[in-house]
């Protein structure tokens, strides 16, 4: 374990060095060539902005994070039971699954304007877009997870006298946890993309809104600061997912190695 | 018959094995005109505590026979009686081992074995004690907290055998349990199974296509024809136990093996010139 955390520390250090190095080159080039701040700000400019405008950026980042959390949880809570239902009932698979596939292929962002008409300008548009974006990858992976159980394993559990609930609890659900997490990791990336787009088109708060406003005022340092904040929000969600996976699905690590 | 398992926590139980009686058993998959007659009709008996192998070519219905005896597939015709009682639903007082270990990758070795206790609702401490004893008997000490992917193929199959025995069933059904293992591992695990069986005297129905394995383990070998499988010969194996790694030491072994080869040749399974 000491070796593992030691290796993690070294790799974190390497990443930090690389990032500082890249920012240093950026800083130097902008200074040497005297690029105006309204065209391309220096890293020191927009990193300073993260500090001076911390309250403003934190407010919008919190709004965005809340939207992601709601939409994402909604997506997972609908996708996983639906996946189980589709896998369990042949009629659902034949009737519903083609519709789901069609909806999945359709670019989700195009329904943004429809949501604006239905829900008006506000957080609901963002929540629903996030829901749509993360719903499909979670559902598709959950389906493959629920299906992955070998038929003969059910022979063994039936000889144990297992009830359908026990089969779900001891076989299907744990078997699907790894794939569900894989789907959620794709889903969270899509969710963040979705929330920013939704906030571009229909919101009065959130990092997407802040970015559009900064762009309107040609306040490029704020825009870049908001970009960094967006990346930090994405990193946070990823970290929470990864940590909870280690806790809940400890056996899945070998699948990634 | 259900959940009478796990008597006193010892590997050597007071309970003997169950007897199996099969009459006119046959299986047809699908419906006319596309029906495939896969098995039988076959008749055989397995006495309580007896070790009987079914040997035959691939696709002859050996595995189907096992599933029918376990009550896990509906039979097309015939009857199966366990201890004289007709089988009407999945057999519970049984342990099953397949060719693939079929361990749950998300459970440790011990966790996989304890699935029996959890699903059957048996006493946890007693089952743990039995699991520990089985792990010791099967050379699995130290593997308890390992996940299946951290174990060798032979170890996984040993865990699978422990899972099939931990609740002290009166019958063990094994479908080519060593088929996926290398020759050296299977010789050892064959011996370990024989010793365990000598102590416990479970009734064992053992499906195999290995002549060595069938003769090395069984009291009787039932030879099956290609699909739709029928039992074409019954060979009683009179060799002392426990049997050695190198069965060729016995002249009788060569006789039994030659008899099985002859049957396979007469059925057109082997076409040597």
Q: What is the pLDDT of residues A78-124, one digit of tens each?
A: 999 999 998 888 788 888 888 888 888 888 878 888 888 888 887 88
Q: What pLDDT sits at residue B124? A: 87
Taking CB atoms and an 8 Å limit, are B70 and A159 in contact across chains? yes
Please tell me the least confidently modeled range out of A226-230, B170-174, B258-262. B258-262
Residue pair B24/B65 in contact by the 8 Å Cβ criterion: no
Tens digit of pLDDT for each residue in B86-114?
888 888 889 999 988 888 888 999 999 99
Half-sphere exposure for B54 (CA within 13 Å, toward CB): 32
Counted across chains A and B, CB pairs separated by less than 8 A come out at 62
Contact criterion met (CB < 8 Å) for A178 and B72: no
Q: Which residue of B has its CA nearest to A158?
A: B90
A217 HSE (CA, 13 A, CB side): 10
**What residue in B sits closest to A251 (Cα-Cα)?**
B106
CB–CB contact A161 B102 (8 Å): no
Rounded average pLDDT over A11-20: 90
Fold of B9-94+171-273: Rossmann fold (3.40.50)
- Residue of chain B nearest A161, judged by CA positions: B92
Contact B102 A157 (CB under 8 A): no
Q: Which residue has the higher pLDDT, A32 or B227?
A: A32
CB contact under 8 A, A160 and B72: no
Peptide bond preceding B101 in cis form (omega within 30 of 0): no
Per-residue pLDDT, B9:
41
Tell whether the model's pLDDT for residue B5 goes beyond 50. no
The distance of A155 to chain B (nearest Cα, Å) reads 6
Inter-chain contact A152–B115, Cβ cutoff 8 Å?
no
Q: Which residues of A fall within a CB distance of 8 Å from B160?
A: none
Q: What's the gap in Å between the CA of A245 and the closest CA on chain B?
A: 13
B268 pLDDT band, cuts 50/70/90, is: confident
**CA–CA distances in Å: residue A189 to residues A43, A115, A233:** 25, 21, 11
B237 in A contact zone (CB under 8 Å):
no
| Nearest residue of B to residue A173, measured between CA atoms | B106
Query: In this model, does residue B2 exceed pLDDT 70?
Result: no
- Chain A neighbors of B90, CB-CB under 8 A: 158-159, 161
Residue of B96, B106, B149 lying closest to A159 (CB–CB) = B96
Q: Which residues neighbour B3 within 8 Å (Cβ) at sequence distance 6 or greater?
A: A161, B92, B120, B121, B122
Cβ contact (<8 Å) for B102 and A158?
A: no
How far A185 CA lies from chain B's nearest CA (Å)?
20
Average pLDDT over residues B58-79: 88
| Chain A CA closest to residue B67 | A155
β-pairing, B51-55 vs B171-175, is unpaired
CB-CB under 8 Å, B105 with A159 = no
**pTM for the structure as a whole:** 0.77
Tokens standing for residue A119: 């829900």
For residue A156, list chain B residues with Cβ-Cβ distance below 8 A.
96, 98, 102, 163
More confident residue, B31 or B2: B31
B122 touches chain A (CB under 8 A): no
Residue A155 to residue B67, Cβ atoms within 8 A? yes
The whole-angstrom separation of Cα A252 and Cα A245 is 8
* Number of residues in chain A: 257
Per-residue pLDDT reduced to its tens digit, B149-190? 888 888 999 999 999 999 889 999 999 988 888 888 888 888
Contact A159 B94 (CB under 8 A): yes
User: Superfamily for A42-256?
Assistant: MetI-like (1.10.3720.10)
DSSP classification of residue B12: S
> Residue A61's pLDDT is what?
92
Q: What is the pLDDT of residues A35-46, one digit of tens each?
A: 888 888 888 888
Q: A160 and B115: CB-CB below 8 Å?
A: yes
Lowest mean pLDDT among A18-27, B14-23, B46-55, B238-247: B14-23
Q: Which residue in B has a C-alpha nearest to residue A254's C-alpha?
A: B149
Tokens matching residue B127: 């089952």
Mean pLDDT, rounded, for A195-224: 89
The answer to whether the CB atoms of B2 and A161 lie below 8 A apart is: yes
- Contact of A74 with A131, CB cutoff 8 Å: yes
Q: What pLDDT was estimated at residue B4?
A: 40
| pLDDT of amino acid B10 | 46
Taking contacts as CB-CB distances below 8 angstroms, the residues of chain B near A166 are 119
**Average predicted confidence (pLDDT) for chain B:** 85
Instruction: Find, in chain B, the residue whose alpha carbon is nearest to that of A165.
Output: B119
Q: What is the pLDDT of residue A3?
A: 67
- Is B5 in CB contact (< 8 Å) with chain A? no
Q: Give the C-alpha separation, B122 to B167, whole Å.
A: 8
Confidence class of residue A202 from pLDDT cuts 50, 70 and 90?
Answer: confident
Interface test with B, best of A251, A252, A253, A256 (most B CBs within 10 A): A251
Domain boundaries, chain B: 9-94+171-273, 103-168
| H or E stretch covering B81 | strand B77-82
- B150 to chain A, minimum CA–CA distance in Å? 9
Do A156 and B118 make contact, defined as CB atoms within 8 angstroms? no
> A252: nearest CA in chain B?
B106
Q: Per-residue pLDDT for A254 more than 90?
A: no
Percent of chain B exceeding pLDDT 70 equals: 94
Query: Percent of chain A at pLDDT above 70?
Result: 96
Q: Does residue B3 register a pLDDT over 50? A: no
pLDDT of B15 higher than 80: no
Q: Report how far residue B213's alpha carbon sits from residue B210's, in angstroms, rounded to the nearest whole number.
A: 5
**Extents of the domains making up chain A:** 1-35, 42-256
Answer yes or no: do A159 and B98 touch at CB < 8 A: no
Average pLDDT over residues A169-193: 90
The interface predicted TM-score of the complex, written ipTM, equals 0.83
Average pLDDT of the residues in A27-52? 87
Residue A75 to chain B, least CA–CA distance (Å):
25
What would the mean pLDDT of A129-151 be, rounded to a whole number?
A: 89
């Amino acid at each position: 374990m000491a070796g593992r955390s030691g290796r993690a520390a070294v790799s974190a250090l390497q990443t930090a060095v690389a990032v500082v190095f890249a920012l240093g080159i950026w800083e130097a080039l902008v200074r040497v060539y005297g690029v105006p701040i309204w065209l391309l700000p220096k890293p020191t400019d927009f990193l300073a902005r993260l500090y001076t405008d911390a309250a403003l950026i934190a407010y919008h980042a919190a709004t965005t994070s809340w939207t992601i959390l709601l939409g994402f949880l909604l997506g997972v809570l609908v996708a996983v039971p639906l996946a189980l239902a589709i896998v369990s009932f042949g009629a659902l698979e034949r009737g519903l699954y083609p519709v789901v596939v069609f909806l999945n292929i359709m670019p989700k962002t195009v329904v943004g304007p429809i949501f604006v008409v239905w829900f008006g300008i506000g957080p609901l548009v963002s929540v629903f877009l996030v829901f749509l974006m993360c719903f499909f990858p979670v559902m598709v992976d959950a389906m493959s997870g629920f299906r992955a159980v070998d038929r003969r394993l059910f022979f063994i559990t039936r000889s144990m006298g297992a009830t359908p609930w026990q089969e779900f609890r001891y076989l299907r659900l744990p078997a699907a946890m790894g794939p569900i997490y894989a789907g959620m990791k794709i889903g969270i990336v899509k969710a963040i993309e979705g929330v920013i787009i939704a906030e571009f088109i229909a919101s009065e708060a959130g990092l997407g809104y802040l970015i559009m406003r900064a762009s309107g005022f040609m306040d490029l340092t704020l825009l870049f600061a908001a970009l960094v904040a967006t990346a930090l929000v994405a990193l946070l969600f990823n970290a929470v997912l990864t940590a909870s996976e280690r806790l809940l699905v400890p056996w899945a690590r070998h699948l990634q190695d | 018959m259900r959940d009478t398992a796990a008597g006193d926590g010892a590997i050597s139980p007071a309970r003997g094995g169950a007897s199996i009686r099969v009459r006119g058993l046959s299986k047809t998959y699908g419906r006319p005109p596309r029906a495939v007659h896969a098995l039988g009709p076959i008749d055989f008996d397995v006495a309580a505590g007896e070790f009987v192998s079914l040997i035959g070519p691939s696709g002859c219905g050996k595995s189907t026979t096992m599933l029918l005896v376990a009550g896990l597939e509906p039979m097309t015709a015939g009857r199966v009686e366990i201890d004289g009682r007709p089988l009407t639903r999945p057999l519970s007082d049984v342990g099953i081992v397949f060719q693939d270990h079929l361990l749950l990758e998300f459970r440790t070795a011990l966790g996989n074995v304890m699935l029996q206790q959890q699903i059957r609702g048996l006493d946890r401490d007693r089952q743990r004690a039995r699991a520990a004893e089985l792990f010791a008997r099967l050379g699995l000490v130290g593997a308890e907290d390992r996940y299946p992917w951290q174990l060798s193929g032979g170890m996984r199959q040993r865990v699978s055998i422990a899972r099939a025995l931990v609740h002290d069933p009166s019958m063990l059904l094994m479908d080519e349990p060593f088929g996926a293992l290398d020759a050296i591992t299977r010789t050892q695990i064959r011996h370990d199974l024989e010793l365990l069986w000598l102590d416990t005297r479970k009734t064992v129905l053992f499906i195999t296509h290995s002549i060595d394995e069938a003769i090395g383990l069984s009291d009787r070998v039932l030879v099956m024809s290609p699909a739709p499988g029928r039992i074409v010969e019954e060979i009683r194996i009179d060799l002392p136990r426990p049997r050695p790694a190198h069965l060729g030491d016995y002249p009788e072994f060569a006789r039994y093996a030659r008899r099985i080869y002859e049957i396979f040749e007469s059925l057109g399974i082997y076409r040597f010139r």
